Amino acid sequence: MMPPPDPGSKVAEMDPEGRPEVHRSEATSADAPAGGLRQRITGEPPTAAESEPQPEPVTAPAVQVEGLRAFYGDSMQLKGIDIEFRANEVTAIIGPSGCGKSTLIRCINRMHEEIPGARAEGRVLLEGADVYDPSVDVVAVRRAIGMVFQKPNPFPTMSVFDNVAAGLRLTARRRENLNQKVEKALRGAGLWDEVSDRLGQPGIGLSGGQQQRLCIARSLAVGPEVILMDEPCSALDPIATLRIEELIAELKQRVTIVIVTHNMQQAARVADRTAFMLSGELVEVGPTQTIFTKPADSRTEEYVTGKFG
């Protein structure tokens, strides 16, 4: 499955905290935030981390994609996609390069249209509401549907604290309890223990894996209900990757997760359901186990067994 971590690797030395300790990560999840959503619904102020009980799972919304077609200029990149991302599940999207995986998730939070000349048609339903409805504010959509990118990209001018707070400051959310909210997001991303003593230092001074968890904390701080991850581990070493994968398993208690990955082992490890895409079309989607062992489509079987791609 996963390649064994190279004990002599530089990153492993730099990130000793990244070791996959099951007990430790459980302790982290105990004081992880109950998500901005629950707090927003209940209006409860966040309790002290030590006394907070195991967070109850929060029901996150499902995402339905209906007849989605995406274009770059005149060329059609997505040729009519219908798929459901189930609530509180991790759905992995796999497929060869250029098949439209990233385009699909970028259409869900309407980041696709930020590229000059790009546009999308069809419906993306969040709790039944179409995010492409003309009455919808694109900025509000992105607060509800967070995104983590391929390369860790903390804001270079900001400290660790400010990076996480940026999510709240830039969106002009209520700023009371900023310290608590930042701590909560950092705990939620499993990063608090590693950075609590250097919150004032630059975010880009962290290791690659820590930077990516910082980016996850930054998007968690805004309180998203869905998190889209675009190959979040492709720039990370195996140990940092494992930390992110553990985090994904924790996060799905509170959010719906869609993860694009080139790594089929990763899909097998983290995803409840897996979707296989090819040339802008969805070939099939189903329970991860089924996709990897008894796929319905022969193209899926050829891909997962390594015959192409």
The yes or no reply on residue 170 touching other proteins (CB under 8 A) is yes
Q: Is 33 in the site for other proteins (CB under 8 A)?
A: no
Contact between 299 and other proteins by CB under 8 A: the answer reads no
206-225 footprint of other proteins as x/- string (CB under 8 A): ---------x--xx--x---
Binding of other proteins at residue 22 (CB under 8 A)?
no
Contact status: 38 vs other proteins (CB under 8 A): no
Least distance from other proteins to the Cβ atom of residue 139, Å = 5
Q: Which two tokens stand for residue 127?
A: 């709790």
CB of 156 to other proteins, least distance (A): 5
What are 188's two structure tokens? 């939620």
Indicate the residue among 2 and 140 with the shorter CB distance to other proteins.
Answer: 140
**Angle, vertex CA 194, rays to CA 190 and CA 197, nearest 5:** 130
Please give the Cα distance from 193 to 113 (Å, whole number): 38
* Nearby residues of 160 by Cβ (< 8 Å), 6 or more positions away: 186, 195, 198, 199, 200, 201, 202, 203, 206, 214
Q: Which residues contact 307 (CB under 8 A, 6 or more apart)?
A: none
Minimum CB separation of residue 164 from other proteins in Å reads 11
Q: Is 184 in the site for other proteins (CB under 8 A)?
A: no
Strands (E), the chain: 63-72, 75-85, 90-94, 118-126, 129-130, 145-148, 226-230, 256-260, 273-278, 281-287
Residue ranges in contact with other proteins by CB under 8 A: 109, 111, 114, 116, 139-144, 146-147, 149, 151, 153, 155-157, 166-167, 169-172, 204, 215, 218-219, 222
